[in-house]
């Protein structure tokens, strides 16, 4: 009986409050007179037939619409362009496909079967974690203009925190016809795969909790600053679009931002972490070359979104990047396997697969700036130099880079960034002439690339050392010997990859 009575009293109170509020509004004194309105802004003019046709031509050619250059007129072609936007969404999905399931299967096949699920869980965990960081402040720090007055900055402001203001209208700093939110999601996929690459070096021996904390800190210390410096509209190393850049370097799709940063960080982390139990004393062969090859093939397919999509339009530059990516990757895969044939007597599926990834890595910074002959040159280097580091240097030095992240991504990314400085040509990408003509004419672009390489390496190495030791002396990096011996699948995730 008490409960109905209480509810009745509460309902009556709410009703009385409602009527009191209405009465107060009715009896309230009249508002003060509104100040005289400011003169109305002159209405924008409709575009002429010529201007409307020019907008359509701009859409086809991925150029600026009339209202961008003449602010007194409107444009009848508003918003994003359906073709370019659709292309960019497909490319974003392809880049995610590189991580899930491509990288997960490639790495998963290379570890022992007691650790296969740990690799899959790490890829999934990183995808979720980085997405949250990207929404929180990551995208804003990476791509919003910085607050510096020099026009050459390291980080963006927080104006796009929680993706506030990132809507379906194009942000012409990054794409004339692609929705801002689509571009944001496209770049998110890069942010996801970059730290996921690091787990290849520390596979089978790092705690899941330590990985999540490491990735969180690493994104703020290494990835967000590098992404802004290289690709941000006023970035310190954005040589293509920022005339005030301190370093006039170029990176079409992530040689420095993605592969150098992850690869060099992976080397430092695996050294600090230490070798796997039994490393060098017991066999640690891949448990499934079938999964490895499937993952490598998925990476190749997904990489078209990575490289061609970095044109941010379905245009001729994207077509060139698509072509050079194909040629360089095929050449590298063949050359790596033939190097095995010569030195070991047998070309392996692992060799073909490693060559695929090496070719993709090395061509990434160059793909939108080089011609087809340049891609063949890159393919040959990609097939031989990482092969040498993986098969010889790794053994000489003795570090336990479990899945060769350093040998392929750090070495390949660094070499690709440098080769881009020698092979880039404005004949395939006229944008190089915007701010880099003198470097191309004087053949000094490679010096700017070398500066970018040094800065990227410094940030990745120092940042990783600091973060790794903070974690090591707080929660610890490694599981216990019993946990590592039993395998991370059961002990950390409570599951097995294969039953029976």
Q: Averaged over 251-256, what is the pLDDT? A: 98
Residue 121's H or E segment, with its range, is helix 116-133
Which pLDDT score is estimated for 349? 98
Residue 446: pLDDT band with limits 50, 70, 90: very high
Between the alpha carbon of residue 174 and those of residues 144, 299, 425, the distances in Å are 11, 25, 22
184-205 per-position pLDDT tens digit: 999 999 999 999 999 999 999 9
Q: Rounded to whole angstroms, how far apart are CA atoms 112 and 371?
A: 41
pLDDT surpasses 70 at 109? yes
- Residue 161 burial by Cβ neighbours in a 10 Å radius (0-12, 13-18, 19+): middle
- Average pLDDT taken over every residue of the chain: 91
Token pair of 205, please? 């021996």
What is d(CA 464, CA 276) in angstroms, rounded to the nearest whole number?
20
CB 218 within 8 A of CB 196: no
CA distance 2 to 247: 76
Selected residue with higher pLDDT from 78 and 34: 78
**Taking 50 as the threshold, does the pLDDT of residue 133 lie above it?**
yes
Between residues 485 and 16, which one has the greater pLDDT?
485
Q: Which of 217, 220, 239 is nearest to 229 (CA)?
A: 239
pLDDT in tens, 396-415: 999 999 999 999 999 999 99
Residue 115 has what DSSP assignment? G
In this model, does residue 32 exceed pLDDT 70?
Answer: no
- What is the C-alpha to C-alpha distance for residues 41 and 38, in angstroms, rounded to an integer? 9
As a whole number of Å, the end-to-end CA separation of the chain is 61
Closest CA to 303 of 376, 232, 254: 254
Residue 212 confidence class, pLDDT cut points 50, 70, 90: very high
% residues pLDDT > 90 (the chain): 82
Tens-place pLDDT, residues 350-393: 999 999 999 999 999 999 999 999 999 999 999 999 999 999 99
């Amino acid at each position: 009986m008490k409960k109905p009575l209480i509810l009745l009293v509460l309902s009556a109170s709410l009703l009385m409050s409602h009527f009191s509020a209405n009465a107060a509004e009715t009896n309230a004194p009249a508002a003060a007179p509104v100040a005289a309105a400011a003169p109305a802004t002159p209405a924008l003019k409709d575009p002429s037939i010529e201007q409307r046709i020019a907008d359509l031509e701009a859409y086809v050619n991925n150029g600026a619409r009339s209202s961008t250059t003449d602010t007194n007129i409107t444009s009848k072609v508003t918003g994003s362009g359906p073709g370019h936007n659709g292309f960019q969404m497909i490319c974003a999905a392809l880049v995610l496909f590189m991580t899930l399931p491509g990288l997960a299967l490639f790495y998963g096949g290379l570890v022992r079967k007691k650790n296969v699920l740990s690799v899959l869980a790490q890829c999934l965990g990183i995808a979720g974690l980085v997405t949250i960081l990207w929404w929180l402040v990551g995208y804003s720090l990476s791509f919003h203009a910085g607050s510096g007055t020099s026009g050459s900055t390291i980080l963006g402001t927080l104006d796009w925190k929680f993706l506030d203001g990132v809507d379906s209208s194009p942000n012409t700093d990054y794409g004339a016809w692609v929705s801002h939110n689509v571009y944001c999601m496209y770049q998110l996929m890069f942010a996801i795969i970059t730290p996921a690459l690091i787990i290849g070096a520390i596979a089978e021996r790092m705690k899941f909790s330590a990985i999540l904390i490491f990735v969180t800190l690493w994104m703020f210390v290494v990835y967000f600053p590098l992404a802004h410096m290289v690709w941000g509209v006023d970035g310190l190393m954005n040589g293509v679009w920022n005339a005030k850049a301190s370093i006039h370097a170029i990176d079409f799709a992530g040689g420095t931002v993605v592969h150098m940063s992850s690869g060099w960080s992976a080397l430092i982390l695996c050294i600090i972490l230490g070798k796997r139990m039994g490393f060098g004393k017991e066999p640690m062969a891949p448990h499934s070359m079938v999964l490895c090859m499937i993952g490598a093939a998925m990476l190749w397919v997904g990489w078209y979104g990575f490289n061609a999509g970095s044109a941010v339009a379905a245009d001729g530059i994207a077509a060139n990047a698509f072509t050079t990516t194909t040629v360089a990757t095929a050449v590298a895969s063949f050359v790596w396997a033939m190097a095995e044939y010569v030195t070991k007597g047998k070309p392996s599926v692992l060799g073909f697969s490693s060559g695929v990834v090496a070719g993709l890595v090395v061509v990434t910074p160059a793909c939108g700036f080089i011609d087809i002959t340049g891609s063949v040159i890159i393919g040959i280097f990609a097939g031989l130099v990482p092969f040498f580091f993986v098969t010889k240097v790794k053994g000489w030095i003795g570090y336990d880079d479990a899945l060769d992240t350093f040998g392929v991504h750090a070495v390949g990314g660094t070499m690709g960034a440098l080769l881009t400085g020698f092979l880039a040509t404005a004949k395939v990408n006229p944008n190089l002439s915007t701010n880099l003509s003198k470097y191309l004419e004087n053949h000094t672009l490679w010096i700017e690339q070398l500066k970018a390489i040094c800065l990227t390496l410094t940030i990745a190495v120092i940042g990783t050392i600091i973060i790794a030791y903070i974690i090591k002396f707080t929660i610890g990096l490694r599981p216990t010997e019993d946990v590592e011996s039993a395998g991370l699948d059961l002990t950390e995730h409570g599951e097995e990859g294969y039953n029976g």
